[in-house]
Amino acid sequence: MTSNWIKIPLIVATFFSLAACSSSQEEDRYVARDVEVLYNLAQDLLERKRFTAAAITFDEVERQHPYSVWARRAQLMASYAHYMSNNYDDSILAAQRFLQLHPGNQGAPYAYYLIALCHYEQISDVGRDAEETIRARDALTEVIRRYPESEYAKDASIKLGLTNDHLAGKDMEVGRYYLQRHEYLAAALRFRQVVENYQTSSHVPEALHRLVEVNLALGIYEEAQMAAAVLGHNYGGTKWYRYSYALMTDKEIEPEYSNKSWLSKLWPFS
């Protein structure tokens, strides 16, 4: 055991010398190490939160011992180490490579989960492009679809709800922008998308109120009445219903349910 740990500084020194060399002769230098020594070193670096060094060392396990059982473990651990160092692109690549090589491995659920986490951690604020948020949604959905009974599916479901709320918030922001510019049809499309696609999000009450607002502005009173009726039925205690009711009162009309409205497919009143 002592001789193995004596080798550890030599391994680290070898990595740095290989990275620093410029000549082809230097780059071809190769020092084989025992697989267990390499893997234990990587684990030790991981435990000491030296995540970048750990990822490099796990990669070295696979490079030197590509056909060993340790190599499969090292691939997944390298992905985790990259994730912990916020190197999300490399983490995703490592996890995807693991899945390509070992699709039926027992570590596959965790590989899919790591990919989803990497996208989720990169979700930007609501005012920025939603492309990464969409990737996170799709990756989280994939975890739930493939492994619904796994320990990762529960956390993925929670994160998926937050991700959908984020996407709904983006649509609300764009819808408000159009509303301020009196571009009512464009605004209505955004608010309708929130109501149709993100029914469990926290933005639905406001979206329904905004639909009341834009439909009144467009003179489509029946749709405004229906949106107000749905809002009152499901979110009657919110400020958004009070705002909508005040708008309806100004027009001297009442909330009214209509089977002809597209909203009746989402909220069929009994």
Averaged pLDDT for residues 27-32:
47
Query: How many residues appear in the chain?
Result: 270
76-110 pLDDT tens trace: 999 999 999 999 999 999 999 999 988 888 999 99
**63-66: long-range contacts at Cβ-Cβ below 8 A with a sequence spacing of 24 or more?**
64/32, 64/33, 64/35, 64/38, 65/35, 65/38
The tokens of 162 are what? Answer: 């937050």
159-190 pLDDT tens trace: 999 999 999 999 999 999 999 999 999 999 99
Tell me the pTM: 0.76
What is the phi-psi region of residue 257: left when phi exceeds 0, alpha when psi lies from -120 to 50, beta otherwise? beta
Percent of residues, the chain, with pLDDT higher than 70: 86
Domain chopping of the chain, boundaries: 182-270
**136-140: long-range contacts at Cβ-Cβ below 8 A with a sequence spacing of 24 or more?**
136/163, 137/163, 137/164, 137/167, 139/112, 139/115, 140/116
The tokens of 190 are what? Answer: 């955004």
Burial of 148 (0-12, 13-18, 19+ CB in 10 A): exposed
How many C-beta atoms surround the C-beta of residue 76 within 10 A? Answer: 22
Tell me, what's the pLDDT at 64?
80
